[in-house]
């Protein structure tokens, strides 16, 4: 059980962090591309859900980055 706590969990955290950053970055890129395409439309025709999705993808990037940083700090401080 201690092997799982000290060896598997940090690697799992690192993998999950990388997946979150990758997915959030992809969503952020796709939404940004869509927003730029809609920039020529009038204000009434723009969808406000793009703004909310962009904020959520930015939060996902931040959370995933923090997870990766914490995991790397933990791995560098322990005798892994």
Per residue in 3-26, pLDDT (tens digit) is 667 777 778 888 888 888 888 888
C-alpha 56/C-alpha 39 separation (Å) is 20
Structure tokens given for 51: 């703004």
Q: What is the pLDDT of residue 47?
A: 63
Residue 28: what pLDDT? 82
CA nearest neighbour of 72 among 11, 6, 24: 11
Residue-wise pLDDT tens digits, 34-58: 777 766 666 555 666 777 777 888 8
pTM to 2 decimal places: 0.64
In whole angstroms, give the CA distance from residue 62 to residue 57.
Answer: 9
Mean pLDDT of 55-62: 85
């Amino acid at each position: 059980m201690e092997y799982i706590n000290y060896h598997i969990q940090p690697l799992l955290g690192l993998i999950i962090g990388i997946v979150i950053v990758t997915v959030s970055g992809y969503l952020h890129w796709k939404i940004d591309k869509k927003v730029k395409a809609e920039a020529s439309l009038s204000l009434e025709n723009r969808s406000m859900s793009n703004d909310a999705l962009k904020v959520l993808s930015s939060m996902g990037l931040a959370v995933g980055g923090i997870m990766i940083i914490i995991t790397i700090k933990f791995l560098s401080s322990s005798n892994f």
